[in-house]
């Protein structure tokens, strides 16, 4: 009975969104996007779309999303938003990071991306425009993927911090006490595989079109680059996401090494109390700010 009620609620919610969407003006970008998508289907094979398309989406999104944080280091005004202003980025660290990224992207991630076509064929996942889910379904699926990945990341990330294995794998990612956006995927190859596996679980659960693969890639990169950016920007649209951890939350993990293990949301750390040091740190900061205000 409860299951039927839940299904009815979800169906009602879906129909309500469909009804509202029918009154919204047509998106001016929809037709150009449709034309581009159909052109891609007419001129490239499924293997090329799934493999090289996925690679282009990943590389293009990753480095494009890194650009704002890279530029911020040259703008004095933005330094007031830097979480650890006493630890600026250096060219040496950024170059080292870039070289490791290129190795991981092309020797670890690319072989995995090459399996995308076979995954879509095995599960009969469509590529066509007509089968493409509506924007709100895609958004809900990406949120579902984020919830699943966040759970995987919390427990496996916490395990990688165990004293017996930390120095062999996860220590590489923690070479940077003050993170910057490009460092988001800077990691030991084994960590890339272990934590990266969480990305694919949501795809297996929700994927009903190849576009979800790309949408989820973009959403995940947007989140991980933001939390590694080293900047806490007030007008950040990601802060509208419920329970979103954000840059300050994850920056503390790099600074403290203990706690704040989740990738996107705060609930696992809150449930298991692994955010206690972060909460104490924030309270200490508030008291210091109050004393400074009184002194002035």
Whether residue 148 contacts residue 202, with contact meaning beta carbons closer than 8 Å, is answered with: yes
Give 14's pLDDT tier (boundaries 50, 70, 90): very low
Residue range 193-212, pLDDT digits in tens: 999 999 999 999 999 999 99
Lowest mean pLDDT among 101-105, 112-116, 205-209, 288-292: 288-292
Give 29's pLDDT tier (boundaries 50, 70, 90): confident
Residue 4 is predicted with a pLDDT of 53
Residue 128 Ramachandran class (φ > 0 left, ψ -120 to 50 alpha, else beta): beta
Give 222's pLDDT tier (boundaries 50, 70, 90): very high
Whether residue 198 contacts residue 153, with contact meaning beta carbons closer than 8 Å, is answered with: yes
Residue the block writes with tokens 């017996």: 164
What does the DSSP 8-state code read for residue 244?
Answer: B
Mean local confidence (pLDDT), 90-117: 94
Residue the block writes with tokens 């004393």: 291
Whether residue 260 contacts residue 239, with contact meaning beta carbons closer than 8 Å, is answered with: no
Mean local confidence (pLDDT), 56-69: 96
């Amino acid at each position: 009975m409860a299951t039927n009620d839940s299904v009815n609620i979800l169906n009602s919610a879906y129909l309500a969104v469909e009804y509202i969407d029918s009154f919204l003006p047509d998106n001016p970008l929809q037709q150009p996007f449709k034309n581009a998508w159909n052109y891609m289907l007419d001129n490239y094979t499924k293997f090329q779309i799934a493999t090289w398309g996925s690679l282009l989406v990943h590389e293009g999104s990753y480095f494009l999303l890194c650009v704002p944080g890279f530029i911020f280091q040259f703008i004095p005004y933005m330094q007031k938003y830097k979480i650890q202003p006493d630890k600026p980025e250096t060219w040496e660290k950024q170059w080292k990071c870039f070289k490791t990224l290129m190795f991981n992207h092309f020797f670890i991630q690319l072989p995995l991306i090459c399996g995308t076509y076979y995954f879509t064929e095995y599960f009969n996942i469509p590529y066509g425009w007509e089968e493409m889910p509506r924007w709100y379904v895609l958004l809900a699926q990406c949120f579902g993927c984020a919830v699943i990945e966040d759970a995987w990341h919390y427990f496996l990330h916490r395990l990688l911090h165990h004293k017996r294995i930390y120095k062999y794998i996860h220590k590489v990612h923690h070479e940077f006490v003050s993170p910057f956006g490009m460092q988001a995927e800077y990691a030991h190859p084994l960590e890339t595989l272990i934590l990266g596996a969480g990305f694919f679980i949501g795809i297996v659960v929700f994927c009903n079109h190849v576009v979800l693969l790309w949408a989820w890639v973009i959403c995940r990169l947007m989140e991980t680059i933001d939390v590694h950016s080293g900047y806490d920007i007030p007008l950040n649209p990601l802060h509208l996401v419920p329970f979103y951890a954000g840059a300050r939350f994850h920056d503390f993990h790099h600074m403290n090494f203990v706690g704040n293990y989740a990738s996107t949301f705060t609930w696992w750390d809150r449930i298991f109390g692994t955010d206690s040091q972060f909460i104490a740190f924030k309270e200490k900061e508030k008291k210091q700010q109050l004393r400074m205000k009184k002194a002035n």
